């Protein structure tokens, strides 16, 4: 009965009610959207690398090793010898290893020296494998595989020739121009640092540095492309290695064995643990986004309270009529609270529908352009808790006009004002 009366009262003021519902609905869409982006960003961040049990590098901190080996940020404190890596790879618990060699660049994009196992075992976003938009893995010594962002930014296609620069600057005057590479493959978009990398073979990394020593070309020493193919191009060291185990139960045993390796100082980290530690450092922005969206909802709810308050003076006679037919003051209070609850509940429905429509339209674009996966799913428990908080906040916002109406006396309502 009370809800029906509140609904009819709102229909008499339908334009104000619709505008109020839209204002709060948009703020609810923003609140849920920020929450969905937050969880999507966190999941995408955590899924930058998936299916790798350990990352091995020179002795350093876990976050530093993760940054340069996975996110291509910063530099390694030292390399690990090829002999040490082979000893780790020969352990019975190790199923596969993917060595990574860093240090060169191409117009600011990292050159990643690796093996064909990289394209076979690297996983991201819940163990999704790398796929090729065109071409395939490198087969020749000087083949290169470009990430999606590199190909898009520089306009590369299969068969294009590129020159690798020594060092990591956007502009370099030390280039390996005598040994150019050919684009043999272009990877599909992943939303990970793989998109911003150029991949070549480990042997190619050794080949382009046979004429170099100490970061500079050796004067008077030149090795032609034909000559370098006849050399032993087994690398002396690599920057890091991704490791997969035969059983996840052996991860701590292998990690301890690598950390205690007597030949040289090594560090083995669990990617998931290091990712959580890194998110704790860079994830503070999500709290700021949540605060901004919450303030937007609070502002919209205050606007609703203001709209109800503004109409109370016009509704004095309506309240007086209700009192005159026997409605006690608590019914007036409950009526205003029911109107606020109805407006808030309708706004929650509208906001949820707007979010669904926005996700249907923008999700493929966001995934393709930014690599941010936003699932189209039922509200999570956290989202339901946020919606419940909005509903409670809406009722609380309606409390002020409800109390004011409650205090209106019958005589004041029946008085004709001039």
pLDDT of 206 reads: 93
Distance CA 135, CA 185 (A): 4
Q: Tell me, what's the pLDDT at 246?
A: 94
Return the pLDDT at 147: 95
What is the pLDDT, as a whole number, of residue 315? 66
The per-residue pLDDT string of the chain (418 residues; one tens digit each, 9 = 90 and over) reads 566 767 666 777 777 788 888 888 888 888 888 888 877 777 777 778 888 999 999 998 899 999 999 988 888 889 999 999 999 999 999 999 999 999 899 988 999 999 999 999 999 888 889 999 999 999 999 999 999 999 999 999 999 999 998 776 665 557 888 889 999 999 998 888 999 999 999 999 999 988 877 666 777 677 888 888 888 999 999 999 999 999 989 999 999 999 999 999 999 999 988 888 887 776 667 777 778 778 888 888 888 888 777 776 666 666 666 666 666 667 777 777 888 888 889 999 999 999 999 888 887 777 766 666 777 788 888 889 888 988 888 888 888 777 777 666 444 544 544 4
pLDDT of the residue at 172: 56
The strand pairing partners of 56, in sequence order, are 241, 268
Radius of gyration of the chain (CA): 32
């Amino acid at each position: 009965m009370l809800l029906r009366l509140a609904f009819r009262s709102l229909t008499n003021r339908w334009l104000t009610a619709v505008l109020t519902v839209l204002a709060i609905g948009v703020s609810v869409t923003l609140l849920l959207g920020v929450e969905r982006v937050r969880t999507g960003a966190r999941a995408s961040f955590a899924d930058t690398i998936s299916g790798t049990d350990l990352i091995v590098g020179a002795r350093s901190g876990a976050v530093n090793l993760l940054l340069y080996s996975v996110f291509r940020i910063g530099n390694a404190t030292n390399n690990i010898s090829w002999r040490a890596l082979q000893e780790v790879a020969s352990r019975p618990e190790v199923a596969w290893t993917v060595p990574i060699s860093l240090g060169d660049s191409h117009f600011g994009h990292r050159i990643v020296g690796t093996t064909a196992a990289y394209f076979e075992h690297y996983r991201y976003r819940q163990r999704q494998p790398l796929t090729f938009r065109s071409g395939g893995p490198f087969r020749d010594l000087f083949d290169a595989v470009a990430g999606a962002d590199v190909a898009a930014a520089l306009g590369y296609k299969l068969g294009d020739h590129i020159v690798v620069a020594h060092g990591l600057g956007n502009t370099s005057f030390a280039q390996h121009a005598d040994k150019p590479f050919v684009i043999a493959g272009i990877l599909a978009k992943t939303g990970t640092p793989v998109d911003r990398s150029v991949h070549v073979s480990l042997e190619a990394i050794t080949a382009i540095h046979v004429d170099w020593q100490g970061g500079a070309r050796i004067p008077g020493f030149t090795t032609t492309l034909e000559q370098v193919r006849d050399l032993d191009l087994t690398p002396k060291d690599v920057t890091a290695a991704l490791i997969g185990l035969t059983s996840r139960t052996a991860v701590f045993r292998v990690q301890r064995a690598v950390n205690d390796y007597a030949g040289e100082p090594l560090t083995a980290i669990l990617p998931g643990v290091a990712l959580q530690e890194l998110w704790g450092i860079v994830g503070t922005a999500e709290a700021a986004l949540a605060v901004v969206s919450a303030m937007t909802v609070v502002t919209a709810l205050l606007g609703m309270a203001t709209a109800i308050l503004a109409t109370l003076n016009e509704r004095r006679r309506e309240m007086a009529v209700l009192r005159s037919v026997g409605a006690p003051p608590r019914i007036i209070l409950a009526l205003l609270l029911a109107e606020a609850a109805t407006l808030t509940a309708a706004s929650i429905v509208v906001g949820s529908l707007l979010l669904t429509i926005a996700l249907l339209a923008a999700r493929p674009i966001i995934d393709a352009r930014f690599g941010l996966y936003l699932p189209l799913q039922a509200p999570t428990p956290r989202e339901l808790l946020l919606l419940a908080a909005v509903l409670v906040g809406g009722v609380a916002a309606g409390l002020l006009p409800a109390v004011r109406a409650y205090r209106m006396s019958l005589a004041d309502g029946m008085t004709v004002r001039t």
